[in-house]
Amino acid sequence: MKYEVIDARITPEGHLDILSQLEVAKLRDTSQGGLYEIFRNCSLAAMNCGGDLDDGRELLARYQDFDIRVVQQERGIKLDIKSGPASAFVDGKMIKGISEHLFAVLRDVVYVNDEIHGTCKFDVDSSDGITNAVFHILRNAGVLQPNMDTNMVVCWGGHSIKRSEYEYTKEVGHEMGLRSLNICTGCGPGSMKGPMKGATIGHAKQRISDGRYLGISEPGIIAAESPNPIVNELVILPDIEKRLEAFVRTAHSIVVFPGGAGTAEEILYIIGILLHPDNKDIYFPLVFTGAADAEGYFNGIDSFIGQTLGPQAQKLYKIILDDPAAVAREMEQGCEKVRAFRRNKSDAYYYNWLLKIDEVFQRPFEPTHENMASLQLHKNQDSHQLAANLRCAFSGVVAGNVKADGIKAIEEHGLFEIRGDQSIMDPLDKLLQSFVEQQRMKLPGKAYKPCYKVMK
């Protein structure tokens, strides 16, 4: 099947418009593994705004002839696009929001390559160095605002959810928008789009014209979760771990909606961090919420956390069902307490420096068959360490489901094998099976093929 495409040349508006000759040369290098490949794939995802795909490989296959090149001119740069998705254009002219996203991709890909990986400015082999790198990527993208209020609510949840669940995320977003709260998500569809869409209406009712809808993504996932049209600030972190750290460093509170393996990964990430002894006095509002029919989902998550990480972990969050206004009030009050806490501790309002993030949460996890099989899933370790290893297990499941490299690895070498203590494997297997039964691993209507098997 052929898809309508368009050729175009676009000019940046208020974004990175000057590149060095060396930067342009790197972006033009089409050799395997070069900067161009990352730039091309992320650009295609940005142009697929509002698409219905959750398979990065399928998107790349659909637009095999897509090409994007930087054109260096004396007065700045332009982007030369060949065979781009026609949905990114109106009457032959690129939609402004998509154009902004494209140049955000260019800005972040160049900055990470030159300033993070290409110099010795940041010791990315140390925990503090990684945190500083995340800070500088966000600052370069204009995300960090020194005089900002403590009103950024990060929303996590599934990208392929039922219509009723999506409507609930909009209701929560609307209630938060009425209370002048801003929204940050993973920038894609589903639970990432709904809160933003609801907040736009809430902001409009309150005559708030500068509402922030921040989308944070990374190259490995953006093709499966293309930026939604509401995102007005987009930033691309170099890997999933730095993306997760960016979420928790910029968040003043977090709301989690129903999802699948990716949402479980995010939950285990934040709980693992909060379980660290150094964070026992850090105030961090965390709420799990959904419509009334989400009770079974969150009961499953809560039971899994209790069985694997214990009652201490269950005390770190609240579950609020079928009450958008209560969620929004909890977030509003939580953000006020965060402001007071940070003021008392002399911590920045725009970046949570005080939060201790152990290196185990910062090191990129490569979901190979060997690494998945060797995960330490036993209770003879600190609870935050176990949470980190459980997060990696779910990260591997996500990779095998939607990431091009993960899907390819499954095709070549068979299913990932996950091993560990029976007391952990049984709850893990039960939770993953519940995700499959609830169609939370893929778009509804598609036959799900597991990318893993739990070894008991």
User: Cα 251 to chain center, whole Å?
Assistant: 13
Q: What is the helix (H) or strand (E) element at residue 286, kind and residue range?
A: strand 286-290
Give how far Cα 440 sits from Cα of 56, 199, 391, Å: 17, 25, 17
Interatomic CA distance for residues 347 and 341, integer angstroms: 8
DSSP 312-368: HHHTT-EEEES-HHHHHHHHHHHHHHHHHHHHHHT--SSS--SS---HHHHSPP---
Q: Which residue has the tokens 């995102």?
A: 231
Map residue 453 onto helix, strand or coil. strand
Tokens found for residue 241: 């771990």
Nearest residue to 140 (alpha-carbon basis) of 107, 114, 101, 99: 107
Tokens found for residue 254: 């977090």
Q: Write out 230-279 in H/E/C secondary structure.
A: CCCEEEECCCHHHHHHHHHHHCCEEEECCCCHHHHHHHHHHHHHHHCHHH
Chunked mean pLDDT (size 10), the chain, 456 residues: 84 58 61 73 88 68 88 73 93 91 88 81 89 94 89 94 94 98 95 97 97 94 87 94 96 96 94 96 96 93 96 97 98 97 94 95 92 93 95 89 81 91 92 86 64 82
Q: Please state the pTM of the whole predicted model.
A: 0.90
Please, what sign has the CA dihedral across residues 71, 74, 77, 83?
negative
Topology given in CATH for the domain delimited by 139-345: Rossmann fold (3.40.50)
Tokens found for residue 220: 């490995």
pLDDT at site 32: 45
Q: Is 424 exposed, middle or buried (0-12, 13-18, 19+ CB in 10 A)?
A: buried
Contact between 301 and 267 under an 8 Å Cβ cutoff? The reply is yes
* All residues at 6 or more sequence positions from 27 whose CB lies less than 8 Å from its CB, including other chains: 19, 35, 36, 39, 69, 70, 106, 109, 110
* CATH H-level, domain 5-121: superfamily: MoCo carrier protein-like (3.30.1850.10)
Q: What is the helix (H) or strand (E) element at residue 213, kind and residue range?
A: strand 213-217
Please, what sign has the CA dihedral across residues 330, 241, 189, 431?
negative
DSSP 406-421: HHHHHHHH--EEEE--
Interatomic CA distance for residues 260 and 99, integer angstroms: 31
Tokens found for residue 225: 């979760």
Interatomic CA distance for residues 300 and 394, integer angstroms: 15
Q: Domain limits of the chain?
A: 5-121, 139-345, 363-455
Q: Which residue has the tokens 């004396």?
A: 74
Interatomic CA distance for residues 244 and 112, integer angstroms: 16
DSSP 45-106: HHHTTT-----HHHHHHHTTT-EEEEEEETTEEEEEEEEEEGGGEETTEE-HHHHHHHHHHH
